[in-house]
Amino acid sequence: MRLLSIIDEAYRVAWGDLVYIRDNIAEVLITSLVGPLLYLLAFGFGIGGSVSSDPDAYLAFIVPGIVALTTLSATFSTVAMKVLVQRLFYMSFDELLLCPVHISAIVLGKCATGIVRALLSCTLLIVVGHLISPEVSLQPLAILVVVMAALTFSLMGMLVGMFMEKSQHLNLFTSLVIIPMTFLCGTLFNVEALPSVASWVVYALPLTHVSELMRGIMLDTCIPMDSVAILAVYLAVFFAACWWMIKTNRC
């Protein structure tokens, strides 16, 4: 009963952000899709075709990786910037804290915009990936992973958006954490190709496990359950940290 109440409240919190997506759907889709499609073009057809002995296999390899990196690129910066702007410039984040809703609902509601963006763009990418590479299968389970990954990265964005005091800090975080993750976490090449120390570091990052899961599901190989567990731990830690920051008035 309490869970249903929190889900209902999360929708209420998300309403304003969802209205913005509805009213600006073209802009949302373009900003979410251009990057991943360029990766597909440049790495799948460009570099892949010239350096790989089996271009089709490489294309099938990177489609799940690009879907995985889209769960990060479509969510993190959107949620982080939205929370930061609403908190520091519009002051409207404060209004949420004054409304009769649970803290969990505020946390989940502010992540909704990231999840919707990721669902829209990843679903399109999965379909496009299936069309250009028959080895990529359409699996409903992939959508579940998209939601789980999008929620994890949205929570990370919310945490950063609540923590940062300047938009420049957000740019710094993006340069130092998000961009390296985008390229290194098994999205465009196999993590095992990295030196062993680097591969252990990369293996500890959440996007690596989204890549592994996506590849396992979309290429019909085994689903790595340890990746599910690690992603769940990240999700829980990010959620708890967001909840704690609001509860203790640190945002």
- Contacts with other proteins by CB under 8 A lie at 12-13, 15-16, 19-20, 86, 90-92, 94-102, 249
Contact partners, residue 8, CB within 8 Å, separation at least 6: 105
> CB of residue 47 vs other proteins: minimum separation in angstroms?
38
- Tokens 């982080």 identify what position? 80
> CB of residue 159 vs other proteins: minimum separation in angstroms?
19
Q: Name the DSSP letter for residue 95.
A: H
Closer to other proteins by CB, 103 or 223: give it. 103
> CB of residue 147 vs other proteins: minimum separation in angstroms?
23
Closer to other proteins by CB, 88 or 228: give it. 88
Closer to other proteins by CB, 21 or 69: give it. 21
Q: Name the DSSP letter for residue 148.
A: H
Within 13 Å, how many C-alpha atoms sit on residue 142's CB side? 33
Closer to other proteins by CB, 25 or 57: give it. 25
Q: Which helix (H) or strand (E) holds 181?
A: helix 179-184
Alpha helices in 178-224 (DSSP H): 179-184, 196-203, 206-218
> CB of residue 80 vs other proteins: minimum separation in angstroms?
16
Closer to other proteins by CB, 92 or 190: give it. 92
> CB of residue 95 vs other proteins: minimum separation in angstroms?
5
Within 13 Å, how many C-alpha atoms sit on residue 33's CB side? 17
Question: How wide is the angle at C-alpha 205 spanned by C-alphas 47 and 181, nearest 5°?
Answer: 35
Nearest CA among 236, 210, 207 for reference residue 223: 210
Closer to other proteins by CB, 87 or 215: give it. 87
Closer to other proteins by CB, 13 or 205: give it. 13
- CA dist 134 and 60 (Å) reads 8
Nearest CA among 125, 132, 127, 137 for reference residue 71: 125
Contact between residue 154 and residue 114 where contact means Cβ atoms under 8 Å apart: yes
> CB of residue 2 vs other proteins: minimum separation in angstroms?
12
